[in-house]
Structure 1
Amino acid sequence: MTGRSRFKSRNLCLKQKLVITTKDDKEPAPPWVPAPNGTLTNYTRSKLFPQLLAAVMACWINLASGASLGYITPALPSLQHPSSRLQLSETEGSWVASLVMLGALGGGCLAGPCISLGRRKALWLAAVPLTSAWLIIAVAPNVWALYAAHTILGACLGVICDASQLYVSETASSERRGALGCVPVLMFNVGILLCYTAGAWLDWENLALFGCLISVPALLLPIVLPETPSYLVAKERTKEALASLHWLRGSNCDINAEYQCKKGAGLIERIQGLCDREIIRPVMITAAIRMLSRFCGLRAILCYTQAILLTSRSAVDVDIATIIIGAVQLIATLVACGLLDKLGRRKLLIVSQTVMGVSLVTLGCYLYYRNDMDRSDGSVLGWIPIVAILIYIVGNSMGLGPVSGIAIGELVPQRHRSIASSLTGAMSWLSAFIVTKTFLDLQSGLHIYGALWLYGSVCFVGVPFVYFCLPETRGISQYAIEVLFKCKDSISDQAISDKPSTDKIEVTVQN
């Protein structure tokens, strides 16, 4: 029998968030939805410090895992140096750089089962093999040990990316979800910068010991962290969920409107639910954004930064340039923390991909006309490569990088996130492996400028996709986002606009 439920959406001007109310005598509204008369409970703004502290503590493992992403850039020249204990060929170096991504593909598939055990427990489970892998690299007797260790690092990376992002998304309040959602990416960039900086003075063995050292706190910090309220509610651990909310929001904050007491669906229901229209769309959008972030060529450019700068005959020393790139990446991510909740996701994504595409095309043109430029005064033109790469990094760090991370926690409903994170994570890391492994082949077939133009074209393709397919989720509760996808054809653009409005919009949903 077909029933009708009427939803009213009101974009409140004061709080700039979409509030969904329901009016149905047969089915009472969930406790996190305002009353049918449209009144709201007394609202006390949640505290920032507990949420920020939880995010930083949970994402310390991102710092250690980010070091694995930055390790290969300074370590690869050291591994290929004639004085190295292990001397890698160009092909072996390519495999070392790529196996992290291939391992992350397996880790992305494992992320769902690990996350289903608990977000906090998943982070702790990943910390143990992560620390061990750094030790294996430091004492590796041959290249096969390096292969195995980097595969383990990648597997941990695949689990950590999804687990940390979900932890932050599920512990952050809706008005701070954008800013705090950048913390995982921010900590990744801190780890990359630390590895770049230490790599300027340490060889590959001591750099691996440094990675092991910064991984140790990740073994201890999850012990004192609260589990996410959403996970505890799904497991019907009501008292623990309320205690977690009080820890995260503060004792004076009214948590009744946020508390969710609906039991999560079982595994079979969650798998079947992935075929529902309101689930397919956010999962496909999330997967597309994550794949776009890979095929834009970021991993290839970061792994082969020194090679690109040497090929382009940059005027800046490659070791110093690597550190500058890591620092700029970190600063740009810090700026993105504030912009995501002010400008919104869609605007930043469109600007981000446009800037990235222009910078890659510019760098490709410089490399294409490099021989002609060498005949002229190259004192100024020699700065073009490093400036183009820096602009590319800024564009990625202020839009595509953080948004691709928070998408899974914002767009996909909580009951489907474990499975969706495995699917989208596997697709994302497979894309990263393809990009990293094929860069040298593209360089041989299309020349380096052709490879850069190819990556730039992917950035430009992503602009219309974001404009037409991605709704704005700034300041909107996760329940409201779920309803938006369910009612996408019935809700006008004004309901999901990032501009506040006091107009009411009637939405009719067929069950």
Structure 2
Amino acid sequence: MSFNGDLETDEDVKRPLIHQSNSWYSNSSIVIEKGCNSSQVPGVTSKESSTSALLCTLIVALGPLQYGFTNGYSSPTESSIMTDLNLTIAEFSLFGSLSNVGAMIGAMVSGLLADYIGRKGALVVASIPNILGWIAICLAKDSSVLYIGRSLTGLGVGIISFTVPVYIAEIAPKHLRGGLGTVNMLSITIGIFVVYLLGMFISWRHLAIAGAIPCSLLVLGLFLIPEAPRWLAKIGKDLDFEASLQILRGLDCDVSIEATEIRSAMELNRKESNIKSSELCQWRYAFPLTIGIGLLVLQQLTGISGIMFYNSSIFKSAGISDAEVASLVLAGVQVVMTGFIAWLMDKAGRRLLLMISSAGMAASLFLIGIAFYLKNHVLGASYLSSILALIGLLACIISFSIGMGAIPWIIMSEILPINVKGIAGSMATLANWSLSWAVTMTINLLLEWSETGTFMLYALFSGLTLTFVVLFVPETKGRTLEEIEASHK
């Protein structure tokens, strides 16, 4: 088949038999016919492409589901774990924070793992400590085993938080990459909601057993999906690369143009793979590194991890009596809004949603600060302050879900050049988890210093995020990863 203004077909023209023996489709063969329908214009994807990418995304989304389950676990289990194991508040706070410590370690090795053993291999490695960690928590008789289990779950989450967005970005067609990338954050929010809901009905040990389920299913699911084609091209497995791309785009789709673009980009990156640390200061690397790391740092400086971790106590401090129900509602709102943004992402674009999100967070955090000021300094304003605090927290979660929740991870996976994606992605993920740990460890101290001042500080960082987006963040909607990388050279 040729494409020179008009589409010419020949029913007798067949693509070669593709037979792979060292991959997930071992001992199978694929016969691909060209010229069977109009969807085979080079570069045009079929409905099968969307279906394949969606199924792969849903399987790897079990990893972020585990991420959300881990983050939310400490909230509904606090009183029961402290009672059963005789823990002090300080000991339980250490238990909660150890997931972030484990995630920082996981973040440091995530890029190297994903580069050396592949995206799927890294997810298998991440699943093992997750499963072992939940088993340890379930069987814990004292704080030491509990701490080990929490650290192991965090270690796995740290690897997952880098690898899943990268895998999704590398398998998705360009017109679906934003929406599919949002599934990562949607899965996290569903994990948080599920653990809050189950925590109202089952014990903390049974909840830990439930926590081991997502990664157990993930390991099984990884045997059913292909490796990311760009990684296969990067390591020189050309036949595996072509077969993987064909499966992802559909057997009736001509992938020749996309395959050529990816091969060309990978060949150029192989020639430049041995870059020196000083070369990271060059514009082609410095700019995407600044964007990728900057957004993930600013995401945490808005205080979102502390707000989600301690939302029950914030509700109580604001005078809202049924804090557990309010927390469940908050998690439910986050699920709904993130699902809506998954549909909107590839229509509105990343940059616009980031600006709306950061502006909304700045306004809502400022409103929460005003609510606490009224509560502490204006007599008779307790009812009004509670209403304002509730509105502010809901608005903050909605605003976060619109953009700052998912998009920093999507842009990080899109904008980093593949020859530095491993080390640069690890740096960005480590920075995010380090700030998450710092925020969760300091929010109580800040609230004791000044409730109003704490939320005003977070509002200020949200305003700085808006400025950063306006000045530096490019739009990546509708562009291939190769086009995005080429624009920085």
Provide the TM-score with structure 2 as the length reference: 0.86
SS at structure 2 position matched to 1:160: helix
CA positional deviation for 1:383: 3.1
Judged with a 3 Å threshold, the aligned counterparts in structure 2 of structure 1 residues 119 and 454 are, in CA distance, closer, same or farther, namely: same
Matched, 1:94 2:93: yes
1:303 partnered with 2:302: no
Question: For residue 355 of structure 1, what is the aligned residue in structure 2?
Answer: 360
Q: Which residue among 454, 459, 475 is the counterpart of 2:457?
A: 454
Match of 2:66 among 64, 69, 80: 64
- For the Cα contact (< 8 Å) 1:97–1:436, is it kept in 2? no
Q: Is the 8 A contact 1:103 1:154 kept in 2?
A: yes
Q: Which amino acid aligns with 1:257?
A: I
**1:452 & 1:145 partners in 2: Cα distance?**
36
Q: Aligned AA for 1:346?
A: R
Structure 2 stretches lacking a partner, 5+ long? 1-39
Which string of whole-angstrom CA distances, capped at 9 and with x for unpartnered residues, describes residues 291-336 of structure 1?
A: 0111111111111111111111115x11211111111111111111
Equivalent position SS for 1:66: helix
Task: Specify the code of the residue in structure 2 equivalent to 1:107.
Answer: G
- What's the CA shift for 1:371? 4.5
1:336-371: CA deviations, max 9, x gaps? 112221111111111101111111111121112115
For residue 53 of structure 1, what is the aligned residue in structure 2?
A: 55
**1:251 matched residue in structure 2:** 251
Is the alpha carbon distance of 1:266 and 1:432 closer, same or farther for their aligned partners in structure 2, counting shifts above 3 Å? farther
How many Å apart are 1:78 and its aligned residue? 2.8
Counterpart in the other structure of 2:113: 114
Q: Distance in 1 between matches of 2:382 and 2:237?
A: 70
Secondary structure, aligned partner of 2:161? helix
- Change over 3 Å in CA distance of 1:215–1:234 after alignment to 2: closer
Letter in 2 for 1:110: V
Counterparts of 1:466 and 1:430, CA distance in 2: 22
Secondary structure at 1:72 match in 2: helix
Alignment map for 1:321-470 (pairs within 5 Å): 321-371=326-376, 375=380, 378=383, 382-444=386-448, 446-470=449-473
Q: How far 1:411 sits from its partner (Å)?
A: 0.6
The aligned amino acid for 2:471 is F
Match of 2:84 in 1: 85
1:194 paired residue number:
194
Q: Partners of 1:145 and 1:447 in 2: how far apart?
A: 36
8 Å CA contact 2:334–2:401 kept in 1: the answer is yes
Q: Report 1 or 2 for greater relative contact order, CA contacts < 8 Å, sequence distance ≥ 6.
A: 1
* CA displacement at 1:392 relative to structure 2: 0.7
Task: State how far apart, in whole Å, the 1-side matches of 2:127 and 2:54 are.
Answer: 21
Aligned match of 1:165: 165
**Residue type of the alignment partner of 1:247:** I
Q: Which amino acid aligns with 2:215?
A: S
Give, in whole Å, the separation in 1 of the partners of 2:209 and 2:484. 44
- Tell me the SS of whatever aligns to 2:487: helix
Name 2:102's counterpart in structure 1.
Answer: 103
SS of 2:420's equivalent in the other structure is helix
Of the structure 1 ranges 271-280 and 470-479, higher mean CA displacement relative to structure 2 is found in 271-280
Residue of 287, 292, 308 corresponding to 2:293: 287
Quote the Cα distance in structure 1 between the aligned partners of 2:70 and 2:342: 23
Shift of 1:111: 0.4
Distance 1:90 1:44, change over 3 A: same
Q: Deviations over 1:104-150 (max 9, x none)?
A: 11111010111011001111111111011011111212222222222
The verdict on how the C-alpha distance between 1:217 and 1:266 changes in structure 2, with shifts beyond 3 A counting, is farther
Structure 2 Cα separation of the partners of residues 123 and 247 of structure 1: 20
2 CA distance for matches of 1:295 and 1:202? Answer: 34
Is residue 73–residue 302 contact of structure 1 (8 Å, CA) maintained in 2?
no
Percent sequence identity is 27
Candidates 475, 484, 488, aligned match of 2:478: 475
* Contact residue 44 and residue 252 of structure 1 kept, 8 A: no
**Matched letter for residue 91 of structure 1:** A
The 5-angstrom pairing of residues 110-259 of structure 1 reads: 110-116=109-115, 117-259=117-259
- CA separation of 1:141 and 1:374: change in aligned 2, threshold 3 A: farther
Query: CA separation in 2, counterparts of 1:483 and 1:201?
Result: 52
Cα deviation for residue 165 of structure 1 reads: 0.6
Counterpart AA for 2:118: G
Higher helix share: 2
Structure 2 counterpart of 1:350, which letter?
A: M
SS of alignment partner, residue 410 of structure 2: helix
Alpha-carbon distance between aligned partners in 1 of 2:52 and 2:219, rounded to the nearest angstrom: 20
Cα deviation, 1:31-82, whole Å, max 9, x if unaligned, reads xxxxxxxxx96443232111000001012121122200111121223334xx
* C-alpha distance 85-78 of structure 1, shift in aligned 2 (>3 A): closer
**2:20 aligned partner:** none
Name the CA distance, whole Å, in 1 between partners of 2:68 and 2:138: 17
TM-score (normalised: structure 1) = 0.83
Shift in CA distance, 191/376, structure 1 to aligned 2, threshold 3 Å: closer
- For residue 441 of structure 2, what is the amino acid of its counterpart? K
Check whether the contact 2:119–2:228 (CA below 8 A) recurs between aligned residues.
yes
Report the AA paired with residue 434 of structure 1: A
Question: How far 1:216 sits from its partner (Å)?
Answer: 2.0
Q: Deviations for 1:367-411, whole angstroms, at most 9, x for unmatched residues?
A: 121156662582x65333232211111111110111111122111
Structure-2 change in CA distance of 1:345 and 1:143 (3 Å): same
User: Conserved in 1, the CA contact under 8 Å of 2:273 and 2:419?
Assistant: no
RMSD of aligned Cα (Å): 1.9
Q: Measure how far apart 1:158 and its partner are.
A: 1.0
Kept in 2, the 8 Å contact 1:41–1:257? The answer is: no
Counterparts of residues 259-270 of structure 1 (less than 5 Å): 259=259, 260-261=262-263, 262-263=266-267, 264-265=269-270, 269-270=274-275
- Kindly state the Cα deviation for residue 185 of structure 1 after the two structures are TM-superposed: 1.1
Q: Distance in 1 between matches of 2:101 and 2:476?
A: 32
Q: Residues 267 and 126 from structure 1, CA distance in 2 versus in 1: closer, same or farther, beyond 3 angstroms?
A: farther
* Amino acid in structure 1 at the alignment position of 2:437: F
How far apart, in 2, do the equivalents of 1:312 and 1:203 lie? 28
Please tell me the residue identity of whatever aligns with 1:59: A
Which digits, 9 at most, give the CA deviation of each residue in 1:417-452, with x for residues without a partner?
1111111111111111111111122122x2222222
Contact 1:102 1:151 in 2 (8 A): yes
CA contact (8 A) 1:171 1:228 kept: yes
